Chain A
């Protein structure tokens, strides 16, 4: 009797719990009070909401809260890449590229009610530079900022740099209110926002969510159907993120394994949007140490790389074979760059030419733990190299440890360093300088490539890019051919940008210049 009572009680308790609870099923897209919410299932948190120092996933939040002077629009569907006005209506460079004049958009207000003025722009950039964190180095060439009137900003540079593109950067280029420029990092991270953007930060709960709410006075106005609130739900588990999207609890996500995309494409309420990203996977050869100091050996390794297999198995065929280091969509991408097919016989011949006896070569490759694409690339390459008698040891490491090892001593480090690169602001120089310009102490040139002619070529092209972008492009392409000829690295795959959205969301377009950022103001349901 007792036992049955106990079970009965437990059963009733469970039922009562289930019935008594206001469980939200189906689609909480529009709440009972009519608030429309755009929900992003985001796989990581947002540690730094300070527009001066943020240099991580936080950009996804800040891009809806703050604005930059300009915005980069990638080359797509045959249209050329361009820089569009945002807070600046127009701009002009002096013939030497050292003086840049920006005219500000009239009638723009910050969230706190202050007007957007040239003084505010100056104060923002100066605070960002002074703190010196995050991506503040993008402003390094700026010597002085002048404000002849409230709507005009003049930047005077030490060295020429394309400031229209710099000002469009996804980090450190945000313009914020004069009242906030004496605030510290903690003030911003407490959830205060001081931008001109369409949304303001309402709250941030680490590990759970960030909530943004509409700034009614937004200069761009509000179209019918635009969202009242933006919610970033922090969900690390991809299975969970996928469930949330399928059930309509979330509207947008990324990072779903490529293998699952086929089933998602079948789902009538979901859309899989795939475009090229600006992220490219590259294996940096240790050019300082034998045998990879020999270009022939590097060429042999590159030609033994199983490109097609990695792209089809690692990215479900959505990635594109990298043509050098600059991905498509960026000015300076070399669509005609030669990319030989995988050819083990030719690799064998090259190794023989280099005097490498078959069977004696042992190499180490380091990559970031947990990165499925890198792991796969390593495994498949290893299998190919085995046929050439080369033993490739794969060494997965935490990124921090991988990087430390590579920076410590080129003579004792890895032979091949597998990593992704994306630009802080959209110029070929970002890739070419960071990864291949000679460095006295290694920072990101982790193949330790050093070529004075190459250095000179890209430095000059960078200066030229402030004045004549087409001429600069020619030099940048020439520089990329040098890297390909010398096999300074193995250029693996340009990663696809894959985002999953609910099919009823209108006007969605991803912009690879702003990694995994969604400009929610443009969307509606």
Chain B
């Protein structure tokens, strides 16, 4: 009951966030100097074509009418067409969003699997060699520019060792010769649905390098946060009591201390997941990953507002959902946190 009320309250608040963002996007679209009609009319339009586009897009309608039709479109998810490409935005999103989510989820899992245990272990061996190496590694992971790390990984794993692919989501075998049927848009899921383990492993191998690149920053931060939280928790009396009771070291670290210490790491990793949805442009470009970041950055450069608006809305929803998930996860892990 408690949970339901909490969820409902968050949901109502989210509606206001989404409304606010919608209004903001619309206002920005009006203020920024650009001519949607000229954009819509194509790369080299005649004056007549621009006027025709103005009529098609109903750009001469009063402001409030345009806002209400814009808001209605946003609310129904009928995002309309891109000014620049005249393609249906919903169609494009159905390609770019799953690709992005697949990468973001995979890299988030990687970040947690690397960052949190590393944080726990360095806290346990505080001051030791492992701690110092870990400190160095986490600083390197956070400080390394993504594009540089991406190129290093490509050079090492793809070009030198040749054990991982350079770029893309699938090898030619699965993309060109025997295409994977797209059901969910998530290649990991689609390959399993199609019963093709080879395609599954191919997808996985393509995910490793970009996901590792994206995971480096949150993993580094998560490690530092977990470490400092752990050090504090490990001095608490209940840990001392657990030690006195003779519980095993790992049981104390992962079973008793970590749940109290994982909160900050979860928050950071969760937010970096949301950031990765559109913020991973460089990684997407370097690995030729068909992600939302590339899609949106192109739209921003050409002031393609329907695309910007649609993507903003989708990302806002993801942020809201992610924040909620983080809060719930903290409540589940840490018995001290109540909703």
Q: What distance in Å separates the Cβ of B187 from its nearest Cβ neighbour in chain A?
A: 11
> Given the complex, which residues of A lie within 8 Å of B130, measured CB to CB?
3
Residue A282 lies at the interface, judged by CB distance under 8 Å to chain B:
no
Q: Are A55 and B121 in contact (CB under 8 A)?
A: no
| Alpha-carbon distance between A21 and B198 when the two chains are bound, in angstroms | 7
Q: Are B164 and A23 in contact (CB under 8 A)?
A: yes
With A23-B205, A234-B288 already in contact, the answer to whether A240 and B167 are too (CB < 8 A) is yes
Interface bits B159-177 vs A (CB < 8 Å: 1, else 0): 1001111111101110111
Residue B80 lies at the interface, judged by CB distance under 8 Å to chain A:
no
Kindly state the interface size class of chain A when it binds its partner.
Answer: 35 or more
Q: Are B172 and A22 in contact (CB under 8 A)?
A: no
Residue B73 lies at the interface, judged by CB distance under 8 Å to chain A:
no
With A55-B42, A243-B159, A398-B301 already in contact, the answer to whether A249 and B166 are too (CB < 8 A) is yes
With A133-B42, A137-B46 already in contact, the answer to whether A235 and B95 are too (CB < 8 A) is no
> Given the complex, which residues of B lie within 8 Å of A372, measured CB to CB?
none
Give the one of B35, B44, B179, B302 with max A CB within 10 A: B44
Interface bits B59-95 vs A (CB < 8 Å: 1, else 0): 0000000000000000000000010111110011001
With A18-B164, A186-B88 already in contact, the answer to whether A55 and B204 are too (CB < 8 A) is no
Q: Are A132 and B52 in contact (CB under 8 A)?
A: yes
> Given the complex, which residues of A lie within 8 Å of B295, measured CB to CB?
207
| Alpha-carbon distance between A2 and B34 when the two chains are bound, in angstroms | 61
Q: What distance in Å separates the Cβ of A516 from its nearest Cβ neighbour in chain B?
A: 14
- Looking at the complex, which of A25-33, A355-363, A384-392, A461-469 is the stretch in contact with chain B? A25-33
> Given the complex, which residues of A lie within 8 Å of B286, measured CB to CB?
237, 239-240
Q: Are A207 and B86 in contact (CB under 8 A)?
A: no
**In the complex, which of the residues A2, A206, A229 contacts B96, with contact meaning CB atoms closer than 8 Å?**
A206
> Given the complex, which residues of A lie within 8 Å of B33, measured CB to CB?
401, 404-405
Give the one of B121, B167, B294 with max A CB within 10 A: B167
**In the complex, which of the residues B39, B49, B175 contacts A400, with contact meaning CB atoms closer than 8 Å?**
B39
User: Which of A374-427 touch B at CB < 8 Å?
Assistant: 398-401, 403-405, 424
| Alpha-carbon distance between A248 and B117 when the two chains are bound, in angstroms | 41
Residue A53 lies at the interface, judged by CB distance under 8 Å to chain B:
yes
**In the complex, which of the residues A39, A132, A404 contacts B35, with contact meaning CB atoms closer than 8 Å?**
A404
Q: What distance in Å separates the Cβ of A332 from its nearest Cβ neighbour in chain B?
A: 20
Q: Are B46 and A443 in contact (CB under 8 A)?
A: yes
Q: Are A37 and B288 in contact (CB under 8 A)?
A: no
User: Which of A52-70 touch B at CB < 8 Å?
Assistant: 53, 55-56
With A135-B44, A404-B38 already in contact, the answer to whether A2 and B250 are too (CB < 8 A) is yes
| Alpha-carbon distance between A155 and B179 when the two chains are bound, in angstroms | 44
> Given the complex, which residues of B lie within 8 Å of A20, measured CB to CB?
201
Q: Are A239 and B151 in contact (CB under 8 A)?
A: yes
Q: What distance in Å separates the Cβ of A31 from its nearest Cβ neighbour in chain B?
A: 5
Some 12 contacts from A to B, beta carbons below 8 A apart, are A17-B208, A22-B171, A205-B95, A207-B99, A208-B168, A208-B290, A211-B179, A229-B176, A233-B168, A236-B285, A398-B301, A424-B44
Other than the given A24-B172, A247-B166, A424-B44, 6 more pairs (CB < 8 A) read: A21-B205, A23-B171, A31-B177, A239-B286, A244-B167, A400-B303
